[in-house]
């Protein structure tokens, strides 16, 4: 870890901390924003460490990407397991929509507990 230097302002020593400008070409999605809010409230040490090391945006992007991939995978697995397929969609669209919404909500809840609120 780098040694922190200080400069004096009045009676106080102020740390010379320079945070590099993060890249502007990233987009943090829903799961990344949820993780950020959770870290601010419940994981302050991790949040501070990521801020000071300048890796917070990359961390949040990775969390968001992983959570989205995991959600899609769980949705596909649950739909296959419960036989919610194109055949059901053609025969009974309302039932298919109800089942898919239920599956999506369960998948999101699983991902939130596995990746965000941990």
Residue 54 phi/psi, 5-degree rounding, is 80, 15
CA distances from 91 to 9, 76, 84, 96 (A): 74, 20, 11, 9
84 with 100: CB under 8 angstroms?
A: yes
Q: Spell out the per-residue pLDDT of the chain, length 118, in tens.
A: 678 899 999 999 998 887 666 556 678 999 999 999 999 999 999 999 999 998 999 999 999 999 999 999 999 999 999 999 999 999 999 999 999 999 999 999 999 999 999 8
Query: What pLDDT, on the 0 to 100 scale, is given for residue 24?
Result: 61
Residue 26 phi/psi, 5-degree rounding, is -125, 155
Full-model pTM? 0.76
Q: Are strands 12-15 and 6-9 parallel, antiparallel or unpaired?
A: antiparallel
Calpha distance 84→105 (Å, rounded): 15
Stated length of the chain = 118
Query: What pLDDT, on the 0 to 100 scale, is given for residue 54?
Result: 87
Calpha distance 56→26 (Å, rounded): 12
């Amino acid at each position: 870890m780098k040694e922190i230097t200080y400069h004096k302002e009045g009676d106080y020593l102020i740390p010379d901390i320079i945070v590099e400008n993060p890249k502007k070409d990233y987009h943090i999605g829903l799961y990344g924003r949820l993780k950020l809010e959770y870290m601010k409230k419940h994981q302050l040490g991790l949040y501070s460490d990521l801020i000071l090391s300048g890796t917070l945006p990359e961390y949040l992007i990775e969390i968001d990407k992983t959570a989205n991939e995991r959600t899609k995978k769980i949705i596909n697995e649950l739909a296959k397991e419960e036989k919610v397929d194109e055949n059901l969609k053609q025969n009974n669209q309302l039932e298919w929509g109800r089942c898919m919404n239920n599956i999506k909500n369960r998948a999101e809840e699983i991902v939130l507990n596995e990746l965000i609120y941990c």
